[in-house]
Amino acid sequence: MNNDTTIKQSAIPSVSMTYAQSGASTTANELGMRAMQERAYEHRGEQYLLIKSPPASGKSRALMFIALDKLHNQGVKKAIILVPEKSIGASFNDEPLTKYGFYWDWQVLPRWNLCNAPGTDNSGGKVKALGEFLQSDARALVCTHATFRFAFDELGVEAFDNCLIAVDEFHHVSANPDNKLGAQLGALIARDKSHIVAMTGSYFRGDAEAVLAPTDEARFHTVTYTYYEQLSGYEHLKQLDIGYFFYSGLYGDDLLKVLNPTEKTIIHIPNVNSRESSKDKIREVEHIIESLGAWQGTDPVTGFQLVQTPSGKLLKIADLVDDDPAKRDRVAAALKDSAHKHNREHVDIIIALGMAKEGFDWIWCEHALTVGYRASLTEIVQIIGRATRDAKGKTRARFTNLIAEPDASESAVTEAINDTLKAIAASLLMEQVLAPRFEFTPKTETSGPQQGFDYGDAGYQPGKNNVGINEQTGQYHIEIKGLSTPQTPAAARICSEDLNEVIAAFVQDKRSIERGMFDEDLVPEELTQVRMGKIIQERYPELDSNDQEAVRQHAVAALNIIQQAKGQLGLLDVGLDVGVGASTAGQSAGNEPGLNTALLQGVRKFAMDVRELDIDLIDRINPFSEAYAILAKTMSEDSLKQVAEIITAKRTALAPDEAKELALRAMQFKKERNRLPSATASDPWERRMAEGAAAFMRFKKEGRYE
């Protein structure tokens, strides 16, 4: 491949959301609580509480409010706060909450903030200190996940009776037996004598690995605060762009095509074990600095690198990659210096490898630039969260994933293609996370408007494809003919709270995304019905078949309606720029609709363009078609052709498990229409079901299912 290939349309985001700037999420009530904190505090009496809320929404302080009430009003004796790493312990330093209207102040005596104590997480001193805390009169302690794990092993589950165990960054936990903290939380829940508050800024608890066993998860009351609510409620930040871009050769040579030196930026260079890495992280940092301008020395106080750009601007660059602990610690300390928290000019660019992700608070960050795909969607959400703080004068933020373009001449071409597909999956999922939530209802002859929803100038019209928005809750109401309704509270909760997790599992399914983007013979129902159905059966085996089908339909509707809204906006030729918020968002000064046309308009246009919005229609949409359109705009034509050829060459015949799923769909077809699917039908989905049923009978005769 020619190494001078440039990044196509590097200034165009893959998806861009605009928000209402209402100020609601940053405005405090009479107790000093912001919107998310107030919502969580309303459920302070729950023994098991799970708070799912974006980075920067104030989860740490929400926990302080809840913990103090449990200590003073609910008979809980101790509050133990667990954080994944020592640096995040600072989030739970003393806070004078009474100053802002609350009943008590949050205080942790210096001795009991074990994140500040010397020694490693598993040192005998810290484990011993936790035991001493339990015997003391002190009320609150902060330690790492690791310290708690070791102390739990030594002290036993009984030691934590009548204690609040609060787990920050809860996505680090897993129901996998090899995850010790997950097993310990399971033991605490089984004993049922502790209170647990779990908090996560990610909606994908452990990605493909469940955080809790379903029986344990059912014990938790969930409080969800969405990205839509968070960003729409900001005072300053209005626009968030998410993009993935491809480069050839060395990433450092193309970095300035996506990096704007005038933006406050965190650059995460690739892991040294990744294919994007040159294996010399120090030289990579030097190359980035050299690309930005002329080095002027090192600031003697902060340790920041000083670089003068060709335009004459002096950049202050914080290098957190340096192997010298003394230098790196001095830079890290300068970044955390509270005296400079509100000084926008304190630092311009931060270069990091494993740091500056979770719990790293730099409100001025406008651009989170990540080189190389991150294997965890949770990690991507955390990195994006670095740029989504609200700050005066900061109206736009963006996340860019810079990925090596697959090259068929390389031995690692399969890995490269996998990374490309993972980046696309992450982009699809972030579109779901950033958009408002959907409230789907079946369309019937007696359907009517939902309270609190605005259906546009014409209002709700019986018999039409109505789309309404509730600006307060950030929800869209859409009626769908033939939609199944969840029959149990568990299924209703999944449809209301966990569709993103279902979609995360689906878009990360390698075979689904490969076929959806590169199989010209694909029948979409193979993905929307068979593959999505299989994922839901495996993920929620406790649900009966009717509720599993309801969850499937809701997940497919949420995914495909957003994809169709993108296409309806007709912006793929210039890059996607989708506005979320009031219907007038993003209009130009001349009151003509600009590129920030509201997502609501796209959804309404899709609904208007079809005679009737029904679940069969939605199932017939390929969920990956719009993603392919964007990929074709961002990847070189030669690379796209090579990727398609390689994936097509791997295509396999119908597998026994797929045949079984198709046979089950064929039986459902017979139940509904009193006949089996026909192999000669004009409908491709009917033909595919017939093919699957025949293959199932053949495999069964061969003994393949034994």
Q: Hey, is 508 helix, strand or coil?
A: coil
- CA-to-CA distance for 576 and 566, rounded, in angstroms? 7
Residues 6+ apart with CB under 8 A from 589: none
Q: Shortest CA distance to 288 belongs to which of 204, 368, 214, 351?
A: 351
Q: Shortest CA distance to 62 belongs to which of 203, 199, 232, 235?
A: 199
Q: What is the pLDDT of residue 121?
A: 67
Per-residue pLDDT reduced to its tens digit, 581-629: 322 223 323 333 333 335 667 787 887 778 788 999 999 999 998 888 8
Average pLDDT, the chain: 82
Sorting pLDDT into bands at 50, 70 and 90, what band is 661? confident
pLDDT > 60? residue 9: no
Per-residue pLDDT reduced to its tens digit, 113-153: 999 888 776 667 898 999 999 999 999 999 999 999 999 99
Q: What are the sequence ranges of the domains in the chain?
A: 58-200, 231-429, 433-651, 652-706
Looking at 2.40.30.10, 3.40.50.300, 3.30.1360.20, 3.20.20.210, the CATH number of the domain 58-200 comes to 3.40.50.300
Residues 6+ apart with CB under 8 A from 451: none
Cα 353 to Cα 239, 247, 360, 557, 598: the distances in Å are: 26, 20, 13, 38, 36
Angle at 49 between CA 44 and CA 52, to 5 degrees: 110
- Comparing 247 with 94, which gets the higher pLDDT? 94
- Comparing 54 with 209, which gets the higher pLDDT? 54
- CA-to-CA distance for 426 and 401, rounded, in angstroms? 10
Looking at 3.40.50.300, 1.10.3720.10, 3.10.620.30, 3.40.630.30, the CATH number of the domain 231-429 comes to 3.40.50.300
pLDDT > 90? residue 556: yes
pLDDT > 90? residue 55: no
Per the DSSP assignment, residues forming a β-bridge with 80 are 141, 165
Rounded to the nearest 10 degrees, the angle between the axes of helix 510-518 and helix 637-649 is 120
Q: What is the pLDDT of residue 10?
A: 39
Q: What is the pLDDT of residue 604?
A: 78
Sorting pLDDT into bands at 50, 70 and 90, what band is 357? low
Q: Residue 458's CB: how many other CB atoms inside 10 A? A: 8
Q: What is the pLDDT of residue 594?
A: 32
- CA-to-CA distance for 509 and 504, rounded, in angstroms? 9
Cα 628 to Cα 379, 421, 424, 504: the distances in Å are: 24, 10, 9, 18
Per-residue pLDDT reduced to its tens digit, 412-456: 677 778 778 888 887 787 778 777 788 999 998 888 999 989 888
Strands 140-144 and 163-167: unpaired
Rounded to the nearest 10 degrees, the angle between the axes of helix 545-569 and helix 532-539 is 130
Is residue 48 within 8 Å of residue 195, measured between CB atoms? Answer: yes
- CA-to-CA distance for 52 and 224, rounded, in angstroms? 5
- Comparing 528 with 470, which gets the higher pLDDT? 528
Q: What is the pTM of this model?
A: 0.76
Strands 15-18 and 239-247: antiparallel
Is residue 475 within 8 Å of residue 462, measured between CB atoms? Answer: no
Q: What is the pLDDT of residue 652?
A: 67
Is residue 577 within 8 Å of residue 565, measured between CB atoms? Answer: no
**DSSP 8-state class, residue 628:** H
Instruction: Look up tokens 């193309």; give the residue.
Output: 254
Per the DSSP assignment, residues forming a β-bridge with 439 are 477
Point out the least confidently predicted range of 209-213, 324-328, 465-469: 209-213
Per-residue pLDDT reduced to its tens digit, 506-524: 988 888 998 898 888 889 9
